[in-house]
């Protein structure tokens, strides 16, 4: 069956000393043979150092974004090769903050997904609707469009080595998480859409929920049959909260 995954997206937070304190606490209390897989995604500039701190632990390292291009004159960008070189196993692509603030299109996100897989990084593909989409009954349409861009460029088999994260934009950083049934409904929709192309891959594809997950609501979200873990923002910066979410995922 699908092993639960909990990934911490630190976004643009942290300092070297804060990171060291957080990682030290997480790895000292995280089992060597954990029931849930744990990934942390620090800002680019801290990847190498956090990777060093994680050495000898079971916690994996991920980045928050990647350039779609392989190399060249792209000032400020970071390639999949570089992420691999500093020890990343995962990379988030298509986070709504990048889709919205940096105007990343579905096609660009798909190219980033492909670039990551081309260097054996596991992409964590974020999809999710905005509040206006939900209110106008367009949630499925938006999520389908975001998912289909990947299926068209990379094919359904690409999802055998990827993670999907459903993150409704209205639930991110608002303290207002999706109700477990709302999350389940979209997760089941995503799985069914994959199954229409390949049922075997749909059955193993991990689909995480993200958006105001915290220790107090993790268990009920993770109890949903198609919710395979969480992509955690704010609560991933607090060791107690993050560890409690990991524990909830592990006892799912
Ligand atoms: P919050 O957990 O802070 O709502 O953020 C979710 C998120 O965007 C993770 O990628």
Ligand 1, closest atom to CA 126? 10
CB neighbourhood size of 118 (10 A): 12
Distance CA 158, CA 172 (A): 27
Q: Which residues pair with 163 in a beta bridge?
A: 124
Distance CA 94, CA 226 (A): 21
Distance CA 57, CA 181 (A): 34
Contacts of 169-172 with C-beta under 8 Å, sequence gap 24+, read 169/96, 169/100, 169/128, 169/129, 169/130, 169/131, 169/211, 170/129, 170/130, 170/131, 170/134, 170/211, 171/210, 171/211, 171/212, 172/96, 172/97, 172/128, 172/210, 172/211, 172/212, 172/233
- Testing ligand 1's pocket by substitution, the residue of 5, 7, 8, 9 carrying the most ligand atoms inside 8 A of its CB is 9
Q: What is the pLDDT of residue 47?
A: 98
Note the residue count of the chain: 252
In this structure, the residue with its CA closest to atom 1 of ligand 1 is 233
Distance of CA 26 to the CA centre of its chain: 18
For the residues 20-43, what does the mean pLDDT come to? 94
Strands (E) in 50-110, as ranges, are: 60-63, 90-93
Radius of gyration of the chain (CA): 17
CATH 3.20.20.70 at 5-250, yes or no: yes
Q: What is the pLDDT of residue 209?
A: 98
Burial annotation 9-33 (CB, 10 A radius, 16+ → b, else e): bbbeebeeeebbebbeebbeebeee
For the residues 40-66, what does the mean pLDDT come to? 98
Ligand 1, closest atom to CA 95? 10
Residue 32 has pLDDT above 90, yes or no: no
In this structure, the residue with its CA closest to atom 9 of ligand 1 is 233
Residue 37 has pLDDT above 80, yes or no: yes
8 Å CB contact between 49 and 19:
yes
List residues with catalytic annotation. 95, 167
Instruction: Collect all residues with Cβ–Cβ distance below 8 Å to 201 and sequence separation of at least 6.
Output: 156, 157, 159, 160, 194
Instruction: Collect all residues with Cβ–Cβ distance below 8 Å to 14 and sequence separation of at least 6.
Output: 22, 42, 43, 46, 237
Instruction: Collect all residues with Cβ–Cβ distance below 8 Å to 118 and sequence separation of at least 6.
Output: 70, 80
Task: Provide the Cα torsion 216, 221, 223, 225; round to 10°.
Answer: -170
Q: Band the pLDDT of 252: cuts 50, 70, 90.
A: confident
Six token digits for residue 108: 């660009």
- For the chain, domain boundaries: 5-250
pLDDT tens for each residue of 150-193? 999 999 999 999 999 999 999 999 999 999 999 999 999 999 99
For the residues 59-72, what does the mean pLDDT come to? 98
Q: What is the pLDDT of residue 1?
A: 77
Q: Band the pLDDT of 215: cuts 50, 70, 90.
A: very high
Six token digits for residue 193: 């859409």
Six token digits for residue 10: 């630190």
**What end-to-end distance do the CA atoms of the chain give, in Å?**
12
From the CA of 126, how far away is ligand 1's center (Å)?
A: 11
pTM above 0.95?
A: yes
From the CA of 123, how far away is ligand 1's center (Å)?
A: 17
């Amino acid at each position: 069956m699908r092993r639960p995954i909990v990934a911490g997206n630190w976004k643009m937070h942290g300092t070297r000393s804060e990171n060291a304190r957080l990682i030290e606490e997480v790895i000292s209390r995280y089992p060597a043979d954990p029931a849930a897989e744990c990934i942390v995604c620090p800002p680019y500039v801290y990847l190498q150092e956090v990777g060093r701190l994680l050495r000898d632990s079971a916690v994996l390292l991920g980045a928050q974004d990647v350039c779609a291009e392989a190399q060249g004159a792209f000032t400020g960008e970071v390639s999949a090769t570089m992420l691999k070189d500093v020890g990343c196993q995962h990379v988030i692509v298509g986070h709504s903050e990048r889709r919205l603030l940096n105007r990343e299109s579905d096609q660009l996100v798909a190219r980033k997904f492909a670039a990551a897989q081309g260097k054996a990084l596991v992409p964590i593909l974020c999809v999710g609707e905005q509040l206006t989409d939900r209110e106008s009954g367009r949630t499925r349409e938006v999520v389908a469009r975001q998912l289909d861009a990947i299926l068209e460029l990379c094919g359904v088999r690409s999802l055998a080595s990827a993670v999907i994260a459903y993150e409704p934009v209205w639930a991110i950083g608002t303290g207002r998480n999706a109700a477990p049934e709302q999350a389940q409904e979209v997760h089941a929709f995503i799985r069914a859409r994959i199954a229409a192309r390949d049922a075997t891959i749909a059955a193993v594809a991990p689909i995480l929920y993200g958006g105001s997950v915290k220790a107090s609501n993790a268990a009920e979200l993770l109890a949903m049959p198609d919710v395979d873990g969480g992509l955690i923002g704010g609560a991933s910066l607090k060791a107690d909260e993050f560890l409690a979410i990991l524990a909830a995922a592990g006892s799912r």
